[in-house]
Amino acid sequence: MSEQVLLRVEGLSKSFGSVPAARSVDLAVHRGEALGIIGPNGAGKSTLFGLIAGDVRPDAGRIVFDGRDITRDPPHRRCRAGIARSWQIPRPFVHLSVYENVLVGAYFGAGLRGREAERAALAALADTGMDRLADRPAGSLTILQRKRLELARALATRPRLLLLDEIAGGLTEAECVELVELIRGLHAQGLTVVWVEHVVHALLAVVQRLVVLDFGELIAEGEPAPVMADPRVQEVYLGIHLE
Amino acid sequence: MSAGARTTAATAAPARSPLRLSVPLTVLAFLVLTLLPLWTERRVLNDLFGVLTLFALAQYWNLLAGYAGLVSIGQHAYVGIGAYVLFAAGIFLGLDPLTGILLAGIAAAALSVPAGLFIFRLGGAYFAVATWVAAEIFRLLAARITPLGGGAGTSLPPSVMELLPGVVEIRHLFGVPTGAARDIVLYWTALALAAFALWMSWALLRSRPGLALAAVRDDERAAAGLGVDVRAVKFLVHVFAAFGAGATGALIFLDIGRISPAAAFSVLDWTAYVIFVVVLGGFGRLEGPLLGAVLFFVLEKAFADYGSWYLMALGLLGVLVMLFAPHGLWGWLERRFALEWFATRRVPPASAVPPYDSRSSTQREGRSP
């Protein structure tokens, strides 16, 4: 059983002042699965990602990745261990080219050198359809291109767990379809994906399991259809239609 | 997607890198500066000595603040340490001044390690204040060294200056008196240190750790999330900048010939003016300190006679640049004309473009945890 679990989060809590962002969250992510996380604004979704990626220090609880306790590891060590993330608001290195942005991940995340790193960076650009923009300064990209760059950089670190933070937000319907195809393809190649998303229909096109957060608490978990039909979830999501 | 990409690519082309021209031109400028003592008078060399040493200090501060995000207001600590180590090496060990300069750099780098362990615990404004506090501590310690004159300081004995290599040869070669020959050696040393600062910074930025540094400059959290050990990168730059400030400080006080804690650890001379030069020329740009040092020198030559009015005008200019050209004059030129003199951009190898789906899941899973 435990070999099937890639990431385990136990009793994870975090408060900002008196506002709880995570309240004793327990969660297991299985190898090769695609897990979706939904919840209203301020439910603690991004905080949970921060806790897993290491930007946010937990007040209590434990994070185990691949059988190793990483609760006290800094972000760069977690990335090197195989956890990659995309930021909700893209954070490109604006003075570097697209290619250099991705090269950072290949060099320091995947620990590659020389030609090998260059090839990995180019492969990540090709996988995300960014190869034609390789020479462009990252500061000049459009929002969709920035989101793709987030994904390309994450892939260049050769992750085993990919954390996607609202990567479909702000995209047109056609762009969204493209992105879903891309993520579905990565998942099909064996990558474990955890995806936080407000655009629920995009999420449901990919994930096999759904977790719902509300006020830092995990209120529902399971297969997408029953979870979305759960009265508590419907209450939380009043006004958001399930397609 | 690709259609949209093409239209935007046309409106925002990648920065032009006139590398083919800029490297030969820079080398040419270096050669002209090297041969300058053949036909110029001593006064010009002394002026250039000031520009070159100021540029070197500015380049190291730019690496610290402009790239590593370490806004230090205590770099005068390492200038002072360098000066004191040079004098100590000459007076107590009888070392020649050029070896002394190297030793000064190494000592400053060594002392920056314990100082760094202390100040790196603090962030933001506290970090800046801590660098100043550390500099004050070093200044007070220097004032306790009674063999070097304590608080009053001391002069460099002529016997140490006589050890300066190359003076005799130049006196014969150029047919100039000893004093002028010394100035030529000091000028060449300043030129070498300035070239070292520029070349090392350029080489660093083009290297693997340099990419980490550039990423840290643009976004620390994103860099850490991609596997960059931000703290290690910053510490490396901190130690390197201390080495540079130490060696440059040693040379400056070799030229002055006299040290005191107040002069060697002067926050105005070795930190404030240096910051002004970087802000004026271009923050976080390799070209910035070069442009800034030249501009500052021109301003000083033209207006220094106006005394305090000049200083107030300098302050006003600094504020205006910060408001309207936050990346300095070079940053403005770069944006306006898509210029890049010292290209550090990495270009993807054209031959290595892989077929679309070359990455397999086994490749990804094959990595050890």
The pLDDT-based confidence of B144 (bands split at 50, 70, 90) is very high
Residue B274: which of B197, B183, B344 has the closest Cα? B197
Average pLDDT, stretch A217-229?
Answer: 87
Q: Please say if the pLDDT value at position B212 is more than 90.
A: yes
Query: B214 CB contacts (<8 Å, ≥6 apart)?
Result: A93, A95, A96, A100, B67, B205, B344
Interface ipTM: 0.90
For residue A125, pLDDT beyond 90: yes
- Which is more confident, A242 or A137? A137
Report the distance separating Cα B249 and Cα B82, nearest Å. Answer: 5
Which has more confidence, B198 or B1?
A: B198
Chain A contact set for B361 (CB, 8 A): 189-191
**A positions 182-241 inside 8 Å of B (CB):** 189-191
CATH number assigned to the domain with residue range A2-82+161-236, chosen from the 4 options 3.30.70.60, 3.40.50.300, 3.90.1150.10, 3.90.1300.10 = 3.40.50.300
φ/ψ (deg, to 5) at B86: -60, -45
Tell me the C-alpha distance between A152 and A95, whole Å: 17
Tell me the C-alpha distance between B30 and B191, whole Å.
Answer: 8
pLDDT at B226: 95
Which pLDDT does position B352 carry in this prediction? 46
pLDDT of residue B166: 86
Bridge partners (DSSP) listed for residue A7: A29, A65
Q: Provide the residue ranges of all domains of chain B, joining segments of one domain with +.
A: 39-265
Residues 122-181 of A with CB under 8 A from B: 122-124, 126-127, 129, 131-137, 140-142, 144-145, 153-154, 156-160, 175, 178
| pLDDT tens digit sequence for A86-99 | 998 999 999 899 99
- Asked if residues B87 and B157 have their Cβ atoms less than 8 Å apart, the reply is no
Please check the confidence at residue B367 and state whether its pLDDT lies above 60: no
Which of B219-223, B237-241, B365-369 is predicted with the least confidence, judged by mean pLDDT? Answer: B365-369
A34 pLDDT more than 70? yes
Q: Which among B85, B130, B88, B143 is positioned nearest to B110, based on CA atoms?
A: B85
The DSSP code for B67 is I
B12/A140 touch (CB, cutoff 8 Å), yes or no: yes
User: In which band, very low, low, confident or very high, does the pLDDT at A78 lie, cut at 50, 70 and 90?
Assistant: very high
- Could you give the C-alpha distances from A109 to B204, B225, B359, in angstroms and in order? 20, 8, 17
**Assigned token pair, A2:** 């435990």
B164, B17 in Cβ contact below 8 A?
Answer: no
Tokens of B234: 């910053």
Average pLDDT, whole number, for chain B? 85
Report yes or no: B7 at the A interface, CB cutoff 8 Å.
Answer: no
Provide the token pair at A135. Answer: 């020479």
pLDDT of residue B14: 45
Across the interface, of A81, A104, A175, the residue whose CB is closest to B369 is A81
Angle value at C-alpha B50, between B107 and B158, nearest 5 degrees: 65
Amino acid B89: pLDDT: 94
Domain residue ranges in chain A: 2-82+161-236, 92-159
Q: Using CB atoms within 10 A of its CB, is residue A94 exposed (0-12), middle (13-18) or buried (19+)?
A: middle
The reported pLDDT for the residue numbered B9 is 35
A142 with B356: Cβ contact below 8 A: no
CA angle B202, B207, B213 (to 5 degrees): 80
For residues B195-215, give the mean pLDDT. Answer: 91
Among residues of chain A, what percentage have pLDDT more than 90? 49
Burial degree of A24 (CB within 10 A; 0-12, 13-18, 19+): middle
Mean pLDDT, rounded, of chain A: 88
Residue pair A130/A98 in contact (Cβ under 8 Å)? The answer is yes
- pLDDT over 70 at B2, yes or no: no
Give percent above pLDDT 70 in chain B: 89
pLDDT above 60: residue A69: yes
Please tell me the distance from the alpha carbon of residue B277 to that of residue B354, in angstroms, as a whole number.
45
CA distance B231 to B212: 11
Residue with the larger pLDDT of the pair B110 and B35: B110
User: Which of A54, A91, A127 lies closest to B222 in CB terms?
Assistant: A91
Q: Does B351 touch chain A (CB under 8 A)?
A: no
Q: What does the pLDDT read at residue B190?
A: 96
Nearest alpha carbon to residue B123 among B49, B71, B182: B71
Q: Is B88:B111 a contact under the CB 8 Å cutoff?
A: no
Two tokens, residue B221:
């959290």
